[in-house]
Amino acid sequence: MKQRLKYIILFILFLPAGVLSLDHDNAEKKIKYLSTEIARHNYLYYVLGQPEISNQEYDRLYNELVRLEKRFPGLVLPDSPTHRAGSKLENIFPLVSHPLPMLSLDKSYTVSDLVSWAVNIQEITKKKIFFMAEEKIDGTAIELFYENGVLVKAATRGDGQSGYDITANARTIKTLPLKLDKPVSIIVRGEVFIRKSRIKNSGNEEDYDTGSLRNMAAGALRKHCSRETAKIPLDLFIFEAVSGVPGKDMDHGKILEWLKNLGFPINSHNQIINHIKDIAGFIDKTAVNRDILDYEIDGIVLKVLDRKIRNRLGNTSRFPRWAMAFKFESLQAVTNLENIIVQISRLGRATPVAILKPVKIGNSIISRASLNNQDYINDLGLGIGDKIRLVRKGDVIPVIEDVLEKNSSSTWIMPVNCPFCNTRLENIGEHVFCPNYDCYEQVLGRLVWFAQKMKIKYLGPALIKSLIKQNKIHNPEDFYSLSSDDLKHLKGFGSHKIQQFKTSLEKSKDHPFETIILALGIQGLGRHNIMILKNAGYNSADMIISSDMEKLAEIKGIGRETARKIIKGFNPDIQKTIQALKKNGLRL
C-alpha cells in the first residue's frame, strides 16, 4: 500500500505544468515535500553513497521544485536546495566519537628544548628510553575503523573528542586499503596529504585553485560529493594504532611494521633513536631533505617507543606526555591587517584578500594574503585592524596563522554585492560567486587566460585592460577582429610590432582542439578532464554541447558533479564565442 501511494504521489508530482491547478496551500505542501525529499536524496548520495533513485529521477524532482519556486516565489524556503548547492550538508555528516581523544602534540621550537624533554623522560622513568623519530607531515588527521579487515568508518579529528564521518570521501584515497591482508578489527590514525608532484604533473590548474596543500587536503575530505574528492590526489601515511594490536609487548616500531604488513602505507623515513645524542642528527638530516621531499612537512615528532612506558607517562588534557613535536622555524612576521578586499576570478569566484601593512619575511616584502573564504575568516575571528601573525607556508605562500591582538570589535563579513558590477553574490558550497558573466573582472580574467593559453604575443593584462576600456574587445573572438587602426594608438605599437602581433594571432589558430577548449576557461574542463572527454570520443566542441549530463556523467573520471559543471559552462555566451572562433579559422 505504501509503495502504491508513493507511485501515486510521484505521478502527481511529475504531471506537466498546468495539468493540475495548484492553489497556494497545495503549492506550499508540495514545495516542502520536494525540498525534504531532495535534501534526503542529497544525504543518501553525497554523504552515505547509497542513492535510492537514478540521476534522471533526481533531476525531475529538482526541476519540479525550481518550476514551483518560480511560480510561487513567496513560498521559497530559506534552506531550499535550489539556493545553495550542497547547503548544510556538512552539518549533517554524522558525528563519530573517538575511542580515545585525538590530542594535539606539545611543541618545541629549539633542538635543546626537545633534547631536554627527552632527558627529562629518562629521569622520570629512571630507564634508558628509545624513541621513534617521524616526519611531521603537514596534512590533516584521520581515524580509520576496520572490522574483520574491512574499512567500515573514517572520521576527521574534529574537536578531538568526536569528528565527522567522512567514510565515502576516505574511500577515494588510493593508498588507503579498503580491505586488509588479514581479517583483523583495528582502529588506526594517520595523516592525509597531497604530494607536490601530483599537483605539478596534473596539468589541471583549475582543480587546484586553493591555498596550501594542507588546506586542500582538509577541504577534499569535507567535500559534499565523493566523486569530486576522488579527483583530488590524496595520499596517506598511518602513524598510530589505537586498538586491535596483538600482544602487549609490541613496541611502536614493531606495531608500524605489523601495520605495514597488513597493507597500510607507513612513512619509510621513520627512524628509531637509540641515543639522545642522535636526535639533533635526525633533525638536521630531515631539514636538509625537506625541500626535496614530495610532500610538505613542518617539523619532526619524537615518540617514546615502549607502550608500557607511554601508559605510565599518560596524557594531559591537551597532549600526550610521551610525544613531542619539533617545529621547523617558519619564515614569519607580525603585522597589521589594514583592509580586506574581494577579488573576482574569471569563473566568478569571490575571494577575500587581506591587505597587510607591508612586512619583510625572508627576502620578500609581503603586503597581501589570500583568505580563501568566509569560513576561514570566521575560524580566525579576523577583523580589519587586528594584529596578526603571518607565515610563509613552504617558505612561499603567505598565510595568516592567527590573530595576536584584536583591534576590531567584529569579524569581517563578505559583502552582499559584487564590488565590480554590484550584482548580488551567490553562495555555492563553501564559496561565493558573482553570477554576472559580463562582470568586468570576469571579462578581464577570461581574456587574460585565453591570451596566455593561446600564447598570443604582447597580449598582457595591461594591454587587455586598455583594449577593454576602449570597447575594442569583450570576448575572445574579438582578438581576431582587431585592426591595425585599433592597435596603432597603443603605447609601443609601431608597424613592426603590429605585424608581429598579427602573425602571432594567425599562429594561434593552429592550436589543437584541447588547447582552445582549455583557453576558453570552462569550469570543470582543465587539461585532465579535456583529455578524458577526447579519449571518450568527444573531439569537438559541438559534440560536447550536443551531449547531456547523463551521458557525460557515465564517462569514467567525469561523474555527475563535473558533468553538471561542464553542461553549465557551455552557456549561450560560450557557445556564441565558439561559433565565432570557428568562423575565424580555429579548430573547434
- To the question of whether residue 418 is assigned a binding role by annotation, the answer is yes
Residue 226 assigned ligand-binding role: no
Please provide the average confidence, as pLDDT, over all residues in the chain. Answer: 83
How much is the average pLDDT of 293-312? Answer: 92
What stretch of H or E contains 305? none
Q: Is 497 annotated as a binding residue?
A: no
Per cent of the chain over pLDDT 90 is: 32
Indicate the pLDDT class of residue 443, thresholds 50, 70 and 90.
very high
CATH architecture of the domain with range 440-583 = Orthogonal Bundle (1.10)
Domains in the chain: boundaries: 2-83, 107-327, 332-433, 440-583
The per-residue pLDDT for range 45-90, each reduced to its tens digit, is 543 445 677 655 776 787 788 888 888 888 887 657 665 332 333 4
Separation between Cα atoms, residue 419 and residue 441, nearest integer Å: 10
Q: Is 416 exposed, middle or buried (0-12, 13-18, 19+ CB in 10 A)?
A: exposed
Task: Provide the pLDDT for residue 45.
Answer: 52
Residue 546 known to bind ligand = no
Residue count (the chain): 588
Q: 506 vs 81, 341, 360, 455, 479, CA distance in Å?
A: 47, 39, 45, 11, 11
Average pLDDT over residues 535-556: 85
pTM over 0.85, yes/no: no
Q: Is the pLDDT of residue 121 over 70?
A: yes
The mean per-residue pLDDT over the stretch 129-137 comes to: 95
507 is in an annotated binding site: no
- The stretch 497-518 carries a mean pLDDT of 88
Lowest mean pLDDT among 204-218, 245-259, 449-463, 469-483: 204-218
Q: Is 434 annotated as a binding residue?
A: yes
Q: What's the mean pLDDT in 285-289?
A: 90
Between CA 114 and CA 126, with CA 120 as vertex, the angle to 5 degrees is 140
| Residue 228 assigned as binding residue | no
Q: Do domains 332-433 and 440-583 have the same CATH topology?
A: no
pLDDT at res. 3? 52
Residue of 61 and 141 predicted with greater confidence: 141
**Is 225 annotated among the ligand-binding residues?**
no
**CA–CA distance, 39 with 261 (Å, rounded to integer):** 42
pLDDT of residue 19: 36
The answer to whether 463 is annotated as binding is no
CA distances from 396 to 193, 362, 407 (A): 18, 10, 28
- Say if residue 15 carries a ligand binding annotation: no
Q: Which of 168-177, 330-339, 394-403 has the lowest mean pLDDT?
A: 394-403
Known catalytic membership, residue 127: no
The reported pLDDT for the residue numbered 266 is 94
Cα 210 to Cα 207: distance, rounded to the nearest angstrom: 9
How far is Cα of residue 228 from the mean position of the Cα atoms in its chain? 9
Task: Quick: pLDDT tens for 228-239.
Answer: 788 888 999 999
Q: What is the pLDDT of residue 455?
A: 87
Nine cell digits for residue 473 = 574587445
Pairing type for strands 426-428 and 323-327 reads unpaired
Which fold, 2-83? Answer: Helix Hairpins (1.10.287)
pLDDT at 424 over 90: yes
- Distance, CA of 404 to chain centre: 27
CATH number of 107-327: 3.30.470.30
Check: CB of residue 314 under 8 Å from CB of residue 146.
no
For residue 380, the tally of other CB atoms under 10 A from its CB is 18
Mean pLDDT, to the nearest integer, of 193-213? 61
Q: What is the pLDDT of residue 200?
A: 59
Q: Could you tell me which residue, 557 or 49, shows the higher pLDDT?
A: 557
Choose, from 6, 70, 126, 136, the residue flagged as catalytic. 136
User: What is the reported pLDDT for 79?
Assistant: 59
Q: How confident is the model at residue 558 (pLDDT cuts 50, 70, 90)?
A: confident
pLDDT for residue 47: 39
pLDDT digits (tens, 9 = 90+) for 15-44: 444 434 567 778 888 888 888 888 777 656
pLDDT digits (tens, 9 = 90+) for 100-109: 989 888 888 8
**Statement: 332-433 belongs to CATH 1.20.140.10:** no
The angle that helices 2-13 and 24-42 make with each other, rounded to 10 degrees, is 110
Max mean pLDDT among 177-191, 316-330, 375-389 falls in 177-191
Ligand-binding annotation for 439, yes or no, is yes
**462 is written with which cell numbers?**
595591461
Whether residue 576 has pLDDT greater than 80: yes
* Residue 440 burial by Cβ neighbours in a 10 Å radius (0-12, 13-18, 19+): middle
Question: pLDDT confidence of 528, banded at 50, 70, 90?
Answer: confident
pLDDT per residue as tens digits for the range 305-358? 999 999 999 988 778 999 999 988 777 889 999 999 999 999 899 999 999 999
